[in-house]
Amino acid sequence: MFSEKLERLFNETAILLSEFPEIGIKTDYPDIRIKVIKNYKLFYQNFPDKIQIIRVWDNRQNPDNLEIV
């Protein structure tokens, strides 16, 4: 099922980000990075003790509707 594959990809990415938090693309917002996963962007912040996922964005949506913070 696609939703199960997508969940697995998100989980694998979360593990990867916890090991390599600087791997994401920098944004104009301090401390917020983006990791692209297929048609999605995962916006996250890196803290000393955790990674906080702020938003999961479907890239097929209108970008004018994107609010990060």
Written as one string, the DSSP assignment of 8-67 is HHHHHHHHHHHH-GGGSEE-SSTTEEEEEETTEEEEEEEETTEEEEEEEEETTS-GGG--
**pLDDT per residue over 52-62, tens digit each?**
999 999 999 98
Q: Any idea where the domains of the chain sit in the sequence?
A: 2-60
Residue 26's identity, in one-letter code, is K
Residue 52: what pLDDT?
95
Residue 45: what pLDDT?
95
**CA dist 21 → 34, 58, 61, 64 (Å):** 10, 21, 26, 27
- The answer to whether the predicted template modeling score (pTM) of the entire model surpasses 0.75 is yes
Residue 36: what pLDDT?
96
Residue 1: what pLDDT?
72
Residues in the chain, total: 69
Residue 69 pLDDT more than 80?
no
